[in-house]
Amino acid sequence: MLLFAGDAGIAQTVQPLGNRALRQQDKRECTNQSAQQNIARRNLAEFVRKCMADRQAERKKNAADESRLQKGMATEEWAAIMEVRNRERRQQLEQDAAKRADCNKQANQQKFRLAERRRFIKKCVAQ
C-alpha cells in the first residue's frame, strides 16, 4: 500500500520522457501485451517491433496534430492582431483625410496662391 502511495506522489512530478525512455517504455508495454496475447516465442521479436513502431507512429501523429493545432491558433491570433491594426490604421487615415480636407477648405476661404497654399496646408496638417 505504501509503495502505491509513493508512486502516486512521484507520478505528479513526472517530466516528459526522452526518446530512450519512451522506447524502453514501449518495449515493456509491448512485451506485456505479447504475454497477454500468448504470442509464440518465435514471433515475439516481430510482434514487439511492430507494436513499438505502431506506438511511435501514434505518438508522432499526435504531436503533429498538436503542432498543427497550435499553428492554427497562432494564425488566428495573428489574423486578429492584423485586423485590429488595419482598423486602427484605417481610422488614422480617415482622420488625416478629414483634417487635410478641413485645411484645404480653410486655404480656399483665405484664397492662398499655390506656394502659400502648400505651406499653409502642410503647417495646418502638422498641428
For 90-106, what is each residue's pLDDT tens digit?
999 999 999 999 998 88
Nearest Cα residue to 116 out of 100, 126, 106, 98: 106
pLDDT at 125 over 50: yes
What is the C-alpha separation between 7 and 9, in angstroms, rounded?
5
List the domain boundaries for the chain.
Answer: 17-126
Question: For residue 24, is pLDDT > 50?
Answer: yes
Q: What is the pLDDT of residues 61-94, one digit of tens each?
A: 998 888 888 888 888 888 899 999 999 999 999 9
Q: How far is CA 19 from CA 22, 26, 48, 55, 66, in A?
A: 5, 10, 17, 13, 18
Would you give the end-to-end CA distance of the chain in angstroms?
79
Mean pLDDT over each residue of the chain, to the nearest integer: 84
Bigger pLDDT: 16 or 117? 117
